[in-house]
Structure 1
Amino acid sequence: MGVKGKLIALVEVKCGGHPILDFFHIHTHHIPNISPNIINHLEIHAGETVKVGSIVSCNYNEAGQKKSAKQVIEAIDLDKKSITWKVIEGDVLESYSSFTGILSCEHEWTTWTIEYEKKTEDIPEPLIQLGLLLDLTKDIERHLFKK
C-alpha cells in the first residue's frame, strides 16, 4: 500500500469564486483558449457542460512536458460551490495509485485540494500539479476581468 496524502492551497480571486466555478462547470470547453500554456486540448465526452459521471480528457503541459489525463466527475455541489474530479487514466497514474482534485469556491477564495496515494514512498508530493491548478485559476480570473 502506498503513502496517502492531501495538499490544499487557497488562492484569492478578486472576481469571486462563483465565476471560477462556473468556468469549470459550464464553460469548461473554453479553458484551452484561456490557458493554452497549461491546457492544450480538453474534451468533454457527451456534452459541453460537466455533470456527475462526465468523462473529461485533457492534454496539458507539466514542467515543459506534454501530459494527458482522463477524469471522471465524481461530485458537483452547487450549494457548496465544489466540483470533484478523479483521474482514471493518464500520466499522473504512473506515479500515483489514486489522484483526486477538488475545487471549492467561497467568496474571494478558490481552494484546490488534491488527494492522492503514491505508488512508492520516494515519489514526490504533487506540488507541480497543484501549481498548475493555481496558475489555471489565475488565467481564468484574468480572462474574466477582460470581459
Structure 2
Amino acid sequence: MTTFKEYEGDIVNKYENFKATFHIDAKDNTDLVCWTIEYERPNEDLPELISLMEFIVSLIKAVDDHHVNMN
C-alpha cells in the first residue's frame, strides 16, 4: 500500500486534505489494484475531481496494456 499526501500545488490550493492511496491485493494469479482518493471541497462551487479519476483510470489502463504486450 502506498499513500500520497499533497502539500502544495494546484490541487491543495483549491481542495483541502488531499490524499491518494492505492493498494494491491494478489489473489491466485490476479493482482487487484484499488485506488482511494480523499479530499474536502471547501464549498459546493468546486467540482468533484472527476477529471483526476479519469486520468488515473487511463494511466492504469496504459500500464496494464504495456504489461500485457510484454508477454
TM-score for the superposition, normalised by structure 1: 0.41
Q: Which residue of 2 aligns with 1:97?
A: 16
CA deviations over 1:71-123 (Å, ceiling 9, x no partner): xxxxxxxxxxx110011111112320221101111234211100101122221
Unaligned runs of 5+ in 1: 1-81
- Unaligned 5+ runs, structure 2: none
Bigger relative contact order, structure 1 or 2 (CA pairs below 8 A, ≥6 apart): 1
Q: Percent identity?
A: 30
Asked whether the equivalents of residues 112 and 134 of structure 1 are also in contact (C-alpha less than 8 Å), the reply is no
Separation of aligned partners in 1, 2:69 and 2:8: 34
Aligned counterpart, 1:21: none
Supply the distance in 1 between the matched residues of 2:22 and 2:58 (Cα, whole angstroms). Answer: 13
Conserved 8 A contact 1:85-1:102: yes
Q: Deviations along 1:7-36, whole A, 9 cap, x unmatched? A: xxxxxxxxxxxxxxxxxxxxxxxxxxxxxx
Shift of 1:140: 0.7
Among candidates 25, 45, 59, match of residue 122 of structure 1: 45
Matches within 5 A, 1:1-147: 82-107=1-26, 108-147=31-70
Over the aligned positions, Cα root-mean-square deviation in angstroms equals: 1.4
Q: Aligned equivalents of 1:87 and 1:115: distance in 2? A: 11
Runs of 4+ in structure 1 off by over 6 angstroms are none
In structure 2, give the amino acid aligned to 1:90. Answer: G
Tell me how many residue pairs correspond in the alignment.
66
